[in-house]
């Protein structure tokens, strides 16, 4: 360990990590002894919350809309990450999003319900609908589970297209809009925080531990007397309802719902965000979305080259920082050092 001499009184100093006192024995067990340590822990969290809440005040209308779509992708990423933490690799974000979108559209178009009712109803309804559709695949693992979740939205698209229900290929338009952009923006930002801190909190409880255990070793969980299929169903519902919320939100935001609601974008963008940001801890997924989506907007100016550059940047991220940018930054943050006096 590096030491340095300080002139007066010959005091000696050595470097010590800022979180030395905090990380006493283990992750998740904190022993705070000073306000500075509290600040050290609180700063990244509060800075994120305050920064994001200020964004719509600072930005113009165009960029505020970018914030909205970014938050939508971020919430979808959280939903993906949550399901992945329970050991289910899902390609079904498009299903969750589409189910929520269509349900909100249907409630609004046919029954004339206002968004304040359609969004919660579509969140719960979309969650149940998606969970029931995926339920038969719950026993499958890995790529087989992924395939089922991938195919279900494609089937739904064809059903709507061929049967012409719910507006067929034209979709349902002229739906009730959000009161204004501000309401929309703050609604999705608050939803993002609820999911981020809610999921993190949930994963720290004993319930969350069981979910993590299922991913780590489902046989050991079963021998521990826990019905893994029931827990997986619950996790799937939570993730699906989260995704359905974003769909319902976007339906009223665009005032339109149609076949693009099942678009593969809603599956791929969240996964790309999570991979860039770092899977396994929700902040990473959110962070990834906040890199990916604004980047897409910045690159819009250069036309088709955008796709080339965009893909290139993604490859660089994945190859250079496979653990995810967020994990990398977090590690660096925990490695900050200070000089402390030695005897």
Interface contacts to another protein, rule CB under 8 A? 25-27, 29, 205-207, 209-210, 212-213, 216-217, 219-228
Residue 129, phi then psi, degrees to nearest 5: -55, -50
CB of 333 to another protein, least distance (A): 21
Question: Which of 33/217 has CB closer to another protein?
Answer: 217
> From CA 150, how far away is CA 177, in angstroms rounded?
30
Q: Which is nearer to another protein, 173 or 216 (CB)?
A: 216
Closest distance of CB 204 from another protein, Å: 9
Q: Minimum Å distance from CB 144 to another protein? A: 20
Nearest residue (CB) to another protein, 154 versus 209: 209
Question: At 18, phi and psi to the nearest 5?
Answer: -60, -35
Q: Which residues contact 88 (CB under 8 A, 6 or more apart)?
A: 145, 232, 235, 236
Q: Minimum distance from CB of 212 to another protein (Å)?
A: 7
Nearest to another protein of 76, 285 (CB atom): 285
Least distance CB 109 / another protein (angstroms): 44
Based on CB atoms, which residue is closest to another protein, 215 or 306? 215
Q: Are 177 and 184 in contact (CB under 8 A)?
A: no
User: Of the candidates 130, 175, 169, which has an alpha carbon nearest to the alpha carbon of residue 258?
Assistant: 169
Nearer to another protein, 227 or 335 (CB): 227
Q: Where are the alpha helices (DSSP H) in the chain?
A: 35-58, 61-85, 93-111, 115-134, 142-163, 181-204, 206-216, 218-223, 228-254, 265-277, 282-298, 305-320, 325-334
The answer to whether 69 touches 126, Cβ cutoff 8 Å, is no
Nearer to another protein, 154 or 222 (CB): 222
Which one, 31 or 309, has the nearer CB to another protein? 31
- Tell the smallest beta-carbon distance from residue 207 to another protein (Å): 7
Residue closest to 317 by CA, chosen among 292, 281, 280, 290 = 292
How near is the Cβ of 206 to another protein at its closest, in Å? 5
C-alpha distances in Å from residue 275, one per residue of 173, 211, 293: 34, 21, 14
- As measured in angstroms, the least distance from the Cβ of 147 to another protein is 25
Q: For 32, list phi and psi in degrees, rounded to 5.
A: -80, 135
| The CA-based dihedral angle spanning residues 228, 234, 237, 243, taken in that order and rounded to the nearest 10 degrees | -90
């Amino acid at each position: 360990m590096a030491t340095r001499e300080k002139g007066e009184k010959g005091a000696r100093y050595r470097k010590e990590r800022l979180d030395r006192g905090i990380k006493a024995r283990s992750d998740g067990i904190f022993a705070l002894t000073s306000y500075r340590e509290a600040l050290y822990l609180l700063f990244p969290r509060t800075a994120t919350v305050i920064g994001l809440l200020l964004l719509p005040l600072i930005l113009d209308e165009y960029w505020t809309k970018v914030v909205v779509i970014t938050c939508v992708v971020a919430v979808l990423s959280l939903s993906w990450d949550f399901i992945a933490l329970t050991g289910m690799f899902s390609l079904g974000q498009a299903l969750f999003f589409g189910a929520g979108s269509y349900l909100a559209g249907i409630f609004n178009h046919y029954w004339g319900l206002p968004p304040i009712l359609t969004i919660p109803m579509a969140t719960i309804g979309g969650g149940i609908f998606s969970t029931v559709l995926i339920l038969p695949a719950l026993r499958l693992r890995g790529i087989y589970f992924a395939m089922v979740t991938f195919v279900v939205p494609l089937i739904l698209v064809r059903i709507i297209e061929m049967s012409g229900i719910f507006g067929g290929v034209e979709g349902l338009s002229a739906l009730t809009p959000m009161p204004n952009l501000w309401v929309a923006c703050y609604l999705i930002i608050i939803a993002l925080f609820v999911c981020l801190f809610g999921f993190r909190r949930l994963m720290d409880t004993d319930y969350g531990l069981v979910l993590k255990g299922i991913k780590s070793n489902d046989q050991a969980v079963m021998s521990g007397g826990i019905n893994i299929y029931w827990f997986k169903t619950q996790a799937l519902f939570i993730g699906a309802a989260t995704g359905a919320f974003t769909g319902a939100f976007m339906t009223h935001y665009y005032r339109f719902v149609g076949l693009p609601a099942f678009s593969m974008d809603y599956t791929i963008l969240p996964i790309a965000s999570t991979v860039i940001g770092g899977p396994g801890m929700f902040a990473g997924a959110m962070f990834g979305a906040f890199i990916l989506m604004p980047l897409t907007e910045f690159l819009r100016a250069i036309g088709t080259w955008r796709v080339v550059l965009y893909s290139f940047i993604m490859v660089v991220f994945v190859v250079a920082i496979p653990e995810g940018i967020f994990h990398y930054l977090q590690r660096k943050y925990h490695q900050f050092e200070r000089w402390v006096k030695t005897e």
